[in-house]
Amino acid sequence: MTDRGQAQDRHVPVLRDRILDLLGPALSETGAVHVDATLGMGGHAEGVLERFPHATVVGIDRDREALALAGERLGRFGDRFLPVHAVYDEIGEVLDSLGIAAVQGVLFDLGVSSLQLDETDRGFAYRVDAPLDMRMDQSTGPTAADVLNTYPAAELARVLRDYGEERYARRIAAEVLRERDREPFTTSGRLVDLLRRTIPMASQRQSGHPAKRTFQALRIEVNDELGSWSRAIEAAVDRLAVGGRIAVLSYHSLEDRITKRALAAGATSTTPPGLPVELPEHAPYLRLLTRGAEEPGEAEVIANPRAASARLRVAERTRETTARTTDRPRKAPTP
């Protein structure tokens, strides 16, 4: 078995210090609970546990390999770290299982993790020929090869267009169907070759590697990333205590659009037009803590090129709402 290395040697958490600064006012109190809903290899969680010695971190990830690596990295914190195998849109169910009604901090670091990119047999990286898997949880669900080999042309084109923002989606889908009739797709190299042949060279010169949009689209479809994300951010905001804060790192416009819409909705009054006084139930229940989406500085991008496309949005819960799904008293988490 190949040595997979230490998590801290393989992963540089994006905007870690900035995120800790923004979450700090909510996590400094004794008994604070923070949910790292995309645990990965534990870089952000380690920062929280180190800086806020009275906080407990619930770490959620659908990738069992990530949980194992993060567990090794964070084992020194004992029962202050609670790892959970789940998808991030199950945050409500996870907290219920731990007896936690509301939390002081939540972080989502969306997209594909460094672990998944670095593991060549996962199929996420288009620069390496590997099995077309792309599942974040390899124990369940269809693979990228299943999508390529079974979707009708119109549905495949929709996935490439909507999730990859691929200009040549219909042309690529038609070529995939022709190729799979000859032989089913199994590895990424053959797909990359098809994309190089199909996408015009002028577009390749202008837009970079011809596979990046198709691979993004397949990954999003296989893992239901946008559907999960829409459900997850709503559930996470619902479980924030008053004064609690949520931070979201997005890496492409589709994720960031959902994030922006959800946080803006909570930060906007719902007072009907013409009503002279804002009633309490119409007042915003979130306060935006970043002006738009913050980006990493030049120095961080040079040190960690994977940070280049990151966009950070942070908001604070300012009041309870009648729509809140839980009004139970907060309990201490159980190991």
Mind listing the pLDDT tens digit for each residue in 229-281?
999 999 999 999 999 999 999 998 999 999 999 999 999 988 888 777 777 77
Spatial CB neighbours of 29, under 8 Å, sequence gap ≥ 6: 54, 104
In percent, the amount of the chain with pLDDT more than 90 equals 72
The predicted structure's pLDDT at residue 140: 81
Task: Determine if residue 42 is labeled as part of a ligand binding site.
Answer: yes
- 243 among annotated binding-site residues: no
Question: What does the alpha-carbon distance between residue 124 and residue 224 come to, in Å, rounded to a whole number?
Answer: 15
Is 78 within any annotated ligand binding site? no
85 in a labelled binding site? no
Is 88 annotated among the ligand-binding residues?
A: yes
Residue 206, annotated as binding a ligand: no
Domains along the chain with CATH numbers: 7-115+225-317 (3.40.50.150), 120-220 (1.10.150.170)
The Cα–Cα gap between 130 and 215 comes to: 13
0.85 surpassed by pTM:
no
Residue 49 gets the label, from left (phi > 0), alpha (psi -120 to 50) or beta, of: alpha
Average pLDDT over the chain, rounded to whole?
A: 89
**Residue of 131, 115, 112 lying closest to 123 (CA atoms):** 131
Residue 117: what pLDDT?
54
Q: Are 74 and 81 in contact (CB under 8 A)?
A: yes
Do the Cβ atoms of 144 and 216 come closer than 8 Å? Answer: no
For 29-85, the DSSP string reads STT-EEEETT-TTSHHHHHHHHH-TT-EEEEEES-HHHHHHHHHHHGGGGGGEEEEE
71 annotated to a ligand binding site: no
Closest CA to 111 of 14, 191, 188: 14
As a whole number of angstroms, the distance between CA 269 and CA 286 comes to: 10
pLDDT of 7 over the 50 cut: no
For residue 332, what pLDDT is reported?
A: 38
Q: What is the mean pLDDT of residues 16-34?
A: 97
